[in-house]
Structure 1
Amino acid sequence: MLSADTIEAIAAELAEADRTHAVIPRITARYPEATVEDSYAIQGVWRDAQIAAGRRLVGRKIGLTSKAMQQATGITEPDYGVMFDDTVYESGAEIPTAHFSNVRIEVELAFVLARPLEGPDCTLDDALAAIDYAVPALEVLNSHIELEGRTIVDTISDNAAYGAMVLGSERRRPDEIDLRWVPGVLSRNGEIEETGVAAGVLGHPATGVAWLANKFHQHGARLEAGEIILAGSFTRPMWVSRGDQVLCDYGPMGTIECRFI
């Protein structure tokens, strides 16, 4: 495992890369002994520094929960990161492309918790009972570590490659709609690029919420009421550039659009 000094140094390097929108060499190329535990420690040091600087945590993102994403990245287990209030956009937003590195879009559902959720034996039914509502969401990926050859350690250290999210306006309680069959038709500049259904996320998009609650229990923590949980993509990531107009059609849960400027 990495030393505390090394973990703090990497966290500082990632914070600077975030500030300058830069890309750094792979952590695992420089520290091949780094473990998954090290990567969450790096993310934790970075997170705590952001909170100390005045940012407000509003939720968690779960990544790599679908076969589409695992095949796209070559990484075969889920991961998670944190989301701050200044990274949340509404549909129709203009998003500054220069604020991100390796900018891509993913199609997801987000869940807002009505009450706390805690492991160690949290099930899908437990998660559904704790969820206030589901809302369609697009995740903007923001990778500060070179993509070629990266591992789960690199991705987790970099806050699971989270950059921002764009939330739709349609909300549904879990008992109002079969969330497994929510579609996503993702278009860039009027051309359909990716399609999928939410069942591609672990069989049910809320399964990831239960997984995260159980994962948090291992660290003596729980998910809190009011938190937004971004459940993972059910399409492959789509690259975007300045000037691109993005539209995603979620069928009965409406649409999301945004433009990159």
Structure 2
Amino acid sequence: MSAASVPDSVHKLADILAQAEQTGIPCVPIRDQLAEGGIADAYAVQRVNIQRRIAQGRRVVGRKIGLTSPAVQRQLGVDQPDFGALLSDMAVPDGGVVPAGRLLQPKIEAEVALVLGADLPHAETTVADVLRAVDFALPALEIVDSRIADWDITIVDTVADNASSGLFVLGGAPVPLTSVDLRSVRMTLTRNGEKVSEGSGSACLGGPLNAAVWLASALAAMGDPLRAGDVVLTGALGPMVPAAPDDAFEARISGLGCVRVGFAPDVPDSSVIPDQGDTQ
């Protein structure tokens, strides 16, 4: 869909989501303003805001896959995953700290990241294609976020909102696929030293490679295939959990290692004048 052919209604919804991100004030769900079953329009809204970010100097560095859990798919009434774009300013270094106020209502989940060494241009991508194209795997944390108030979302809300993307963190020790069976990896996620989520590679569409096959096929069919150098976040290995100021998270994935991120303390509200006590 060219920029000239994008309906005004799509731009309007993109504006609503962009304003929520800029102001830090979540918006109401947008599903009632989309046609019933309007996933194609929701992706059009997503593309408008991605193109705006590119025009501002940001760079697409990969893609994320969402809704890889059958339970979540049933909850939202869909039978397939969705995807969003990863941009350069969404990357947080391993062990880094997310600034206060950077996100609206963050949650976090542990995933397997794949980094491509070759393009995946075919609309009928196979597992063999993905195996040949992947350069290495890494443990990853995806910090999801929603511009929709209270996470009150359906499939079209999250698709339009860039698949509820926020930030992402990659571990720093690449692992070749010949050294790990991604279906059988085990994941443990801790918050402030306490286990809050666990899961396995098989929880992600039966295995992260299956998720990558789906994504590569979907993007190639749309004429926007995955390219060499792209990061692919393949989907959650276990339940996502909320993140709060001062939290510290660590994910350990067997065969891949660990990845960490922290959240800065809240910034005091400077508009509130401290009580100085009775000065009379």
TM value normalised by structure 1: 0.93
Backbone CA RMSD of aligned residues: 1.9
Moved more, 64-73 or 92-101: 64-73
Shift of 1:73: 5.9
Q: Deviations over 1:27-82 (max 9, x none)?
A: 11344546000000000111111101111111111111123544676654200000
| Partner residue, 1:220 | 223
Moved more, 210-219 or 45-54: 210-219
Shift of 1:164: 0.5
Aligned residue pairs total 260
Q: Does residue 233 of structure 1 match 2:233? A: no
Which one has the largest radius of gyration? Answer: 2
Identity of aligned residues (%): 36
Structure 2 distance, partners of 1:149, 1:257, is 28
Shift of 1:21: 2.2
Whether the 8 Å contact between 1:201 and 1:233 is mirrored in structure 2 is yes
| Partner residue, 1:250 | 253
| Partner residue, 1:170 | 173
| Partner residue, 1:55 | 58
| Partner residue, 1:86 | 89
Note closer, same or farther for the CA distance 1:74–1:243 as it changes in structure 2 (3 Å cut): farther
Q: Deviations over 1:163-193 (max 9, x none)?
A: 0101111211111211112221011111111
Of 179, 182, 197 in structure 2, the residue corresponding to residue 179 of structure 1 is 182
Q: Output aligned runs, 1:1-261, within 5 Å.
A: 4-31=7-34, 33=36, 35-67=38-70, 69-70=72-73, 76-147=79-150, 149-261=152-264
Whether the 8 Å contact between 2:120 and 2:220 is mirrored in structure 1 is no
Whether the 8 Å contact between 1:68 and 1:236 is mirrored in structure 2 is no
Shift of 1:134: 0.6
Which 5+ residue runs of structure 2 have no aligned equivalent?
1-5, 265-280
Q: Secondary structure at the match of 1:45?
A: helix
TM value normalised by structure 2: 0.87
Shift of 1:148: 5.5
Structure 2 distance, partners of 1:72, 1:165, is 25
